[in-house]
Structure 1
Amino acid sequence: MAAYTQSSTMASKPYNVAIIGYGMSAKVFHIPLIQVTPAFNLYAIVQRNPTAENDASKDHPGIKLYRSSEDMVQDPDVDVVVINTIPTSHFELCRLALEYHKYVIVEKPFTVTSEEADDLINIAVNRDLFLTVYQNRRWDTDFLTLSKLLKEGTLGRVVEFETHFDRHRPEAPSGGWKTKPLPGGGGIYDLGTHLIDQVYVLFGLPDRITGFVGSQREHNPEGVDDSCTVLLHYDSGLLATVKAGVVSPEVNQLRYWFHLDCQENQLKAGKKPGDAGFGIEPKDRAGTLTVIRDGQPASEPCPNIEPATYSVFYSQFAKAIDGQGTVPVPVEAKGAMDVIRLIELARLSSTEGRTLKVKDHYAGID
């Protein structure tokens, strides 16, 4: 895809980035990564209602502070828009930014529906603009380690794959949009999006899907679907299980029997990519690799590989813009749309109590 160029000198200077929303996602997952990416400049933030305790202009002196997205997109100096708002607003804000010829990064979940995602992809293609979705868990160190083992053939033929994002939070949180049964909300659109995306990256689209979507909490006054279990069936014989739960009283919550990536906690603590030790797992958190040797199972420690860190997402997006379409964006919007399609089918499967064939519902999917 050829990129729209707002000025002939754009590539010779950092791209100005505007962020819509100033919550945890912006502060932890985006601004620190923008700040360590030389190709990007934190230029503006849209914050509708700053407070004395939460004011983007005080935290980042020198930036432009906008009260509305409509005003921000009219600024000709904005090159890239990052959308960090609730899922129900993603479609309209993405469309607004694209219509004003901005490159767009949108937080997961991409959109509430696959129809919305398809519309946005068509707008971006027709305007020769770059659109990507922030699926940062593709750069979790454990996931990269697993990807390496699969690529090398160390694990042999995979017949069953199980991935978890479990937590022990039996009490329903109070306040905030995540506590409301909104479109695009609940466990499957939140943590489930990460897990389904990782299976999609490793193994592609499944042939059939079985979903169980609901609540594990005993007291759930708002009726939010806080948990999910999704079975992804492949004609090759592979069965992938995706599970996100909130009642899991484990001391160490594991995923593919690796520990959860450390980058999120380090970012929350103020560390950034490039800081000493960022993204590096301690040796005592190595996984265990079991292979068959001389016909018998043999186990050994399997430390994570050297981390690429979440900053790769932003550096890759900058390369895509510079490459004018010769370099791919870090997460293709079509792949993110396919994940939304799988979520739609998982929810339908759960409602109807049956396994669904993917191509029966999305004939053009490939």
Structure 2
Amino acid sequence: MQKIRTALLSYGMSGKVFHAPFISFHPGFELIGSWERSKKLIREDYPSVKSYFQIDALLEDDVDLVIVNTPVETHYEYAKKVLLAGKHAIVEKAFTTTVAQAQELAALANERGVKLAVFQNRRWDSDFKTVQKIISEKKLGDIVEAEFHFDRYNPLLSPKSHKETANSGAGILKDLGPHLIDQVLCLFGLPKAVFADIRITREHSLVDDYIDILLYYPDSRVRLKAGFFVREANPAYVIHGKKGSFLKPRGDVQEDDLKLGKKPNLEEWGTEAKSKEGLLHTEFHTDILRENVPTLQGNYYDFFDGVYNSISNNQPEPVTAQDGVHVMQIIEAAIQSSAQKKVIDL
């Protein structure tokens, strides 16, 4: 197996928690190092790798794949440099800050013959994979409505200045919003129209921290909500069909385990507690069933395995640049809708 030489553009929380553990665990990758502007931390965890002082030094090195895990407002600039250098790229969410930027990057990757994937890791959350299975098996009948939540209780501002300074990449719409939007697009495709309410609710906040987005489909509607003042969490997924309903709390353990320093594996990794099982209440062969559904195992490893197959075997990326374009189309429509207080057709 030829290893894909991989470097990060930062080694903060995302590099340490979401990327380096999987790159170092997957047999198809070799972690080469990271661009580190001030704090030099990566060698504390991976002593044999490099710490680059400049992005140009990283791009000039023998690196095949670069992970753009910098603040959102820099994604377009850095991803473009990576692609122009002839490297494959993974770009974190939000993919870019505008649809035009996303489309340009997608076209550039195609022109240069390199792979470009968007890091929408929540497709491989245990809770979402279970929802996806319930819907794909038609256990609810035709879907009438769905509601997805990414709720938290955290009234304090983030200590990370780029998250709380008014800029084109800041705010909950481009932080948690892409997770919710990408999951809905996976299940239902692009909607016909969008209506959104985007607000600031925390004291002294300069960026949006509450979203309520309604997506219109021909025969159903999907609502997406995220905010920081939900002390008692709603179910993360509420799906109603013509035969029944499925309610699932958010339960994926991967982020918490990674923050604790646990290392990914292929056995019990991403296994939720039984108490987090979803409730299925539906009709099956004229019988009414009301039962808990075992949660599928989650694993972000599958995203990186998809990237490996994409580069090594010329397969489609696990999350394509066009997927990223579609997410940005919803985000731009939501911004326009909230500002104009009207439904925006796509």
TM range (shorter): over 0.9
1:1-366 equivalent positions in 2, closer than 5 A: 12-50=1-39, 55-75=41-61, 77-217=62-202, 219=203, 221-235=204-218, 237-250=219-232, 252=233, 254-256=235-237, 257-274=248-265, 277-292=268-283, 298-305=289-296, 307-324=297-314, 327-358=315-346
- Counterparts of 1:134 and 1:30, CA distance in 2: 10
The Cα RMSD (Å) is: 1.6
Asked whether the equivalents of residues 94 and 106 of structure 1 are also in contact (C-alpha less than 8 Å), the reply is: yes
Cα pair distance change 1:84/1:295, threshold 3 Å:
same
Asked whether the equivalents of residues 148 and 236 of structure 2 are also in contact (C-alpha less than 8 Å), the reply is: yes
- Counterparts of 2:33 and 2:26, CA distance in 1: 16
- Counterparts of 2:319 and 2:224, CA distance in 1: 20
Q: Classify the secondary structure of the residue corresponding to 1:254.
A: coil
Q: Classify the secondary structure of the residue corresponding to 2:141.
A: coil
State the Cα deviation string for residues 82-106 of structure 1 (Å, max 9, x = none). 0110011111111111111100001
Counterpart AA for 1:241: R
- Counterparts of 1:308 and 1:166, CA distance in 2: 20
State the Cα deviation string for residues 230-265 of structure 1 (Å, max 9, x = none). 000011x21000001110111x55311323311110
- Counterparts of 2:42 and 2:160, CA distance in 1: 22
- Counterparts of 1:282 and 1:57, CA distance in 2: 34
Asked whether the equivalents of residues 251 and 276 of structure 2 are also in contact (C-alpha less than 8 Å), the reply is: no
Counterpart AA for 2:326: D
Q: Classify the secondary structure of the residue corresponding to 1:259.
A: coil
- Counterparts of 1:346 and 1:302, CA distance in 2: 34
Identity rate, percent = 36
Query: 2:244 corresponds to which residue?
Result: none
Query: 1:363 corresponds to which residue?
Result: none
Asked whether the equivalents of residues 266 and 278 of structure 1 are also in contact (C-alpha less than 8 Å), the reply is: no
Question: Could you tell me the TM-score, scaled by structure 1's length?
Answer: 0.88
Counterpart AA for 1:69: I
- Counterparts of 2:44 and 2:53, CA distance in 1: 15
Cα drift, residue 273 of structure 1: 2.2
- Counterparts of 1:206 and 1:255, CA distance in 2: 20
- Counterparts of 2:234 and 2:67, CA distance in 1: 31
Question: Could you tell me the TM-score, scaled by structure 2's length?
Answer: 0.93
State the Cα deviation string for residues 285-307 of structure 1 (Å, max 9, x = none). 111111035868541111112x1
Q: Classify the secondary structure of the residue corresponding to 2:91.
A: strand
Q: Classify the secondary structure of the residue corresponding to 1:242.
A: strand
- Counterparts of 2:87 and 2:154, CA distance in 1: 39
- Counterparts of 2:221 and 2:201, CA distance in 1: 23
Asked whether the equivalents of residues 271 and 298 of structure 2 are also in contact (C-alpha less than 8 Å), the reply is: no
Asked whether the equivalents of residues 16 and 40 of structure 1 are also in contact (C-alpha less than 8 Å), the reply is: yes
Counterpart AA for 2:46: H
Asked whether the equivalents of residues 181 and 222 of structure 1 are also in contact (C-alpha less than 8 Å), the reply is: no
Counterpart AA for 2:39: P
Counterpart AA for 1:240: V
State the Cα deviation string for residues 191-240 of structure 1 (Å, max 9, x = none). 111001100110000001001111222x1x242101101000011x2100
Cα drift, residue 276 of structure 1: 5.8
Give the gaps of 5 or more residues in structure 2. Answer: 238-247
Asked whether the equivalents of residues 206 and 234 of structure 1 are also in contact (C-alpha less than 8 Å), the reply is: yes
Asked whether the equivalents of residues 167 and 253 of structure 1 are also in contact (C-alpha less than 8 Å), the reply is: no
- Counterparts of 1:223 and 1:158, CA distance in 2: 37
State the Cα deviation string for residues 133-178 of structure 1 (Å, max 9, x = none). 0000000111111111111111111010100000011233344211
Q: Classify the secondary structure of the residue corresponding to 2:172.
A: coil
Q: Classify the secondary structure of the residue corresponding to 2:173.
A: coil
Aligned length, in residue pairs: 336
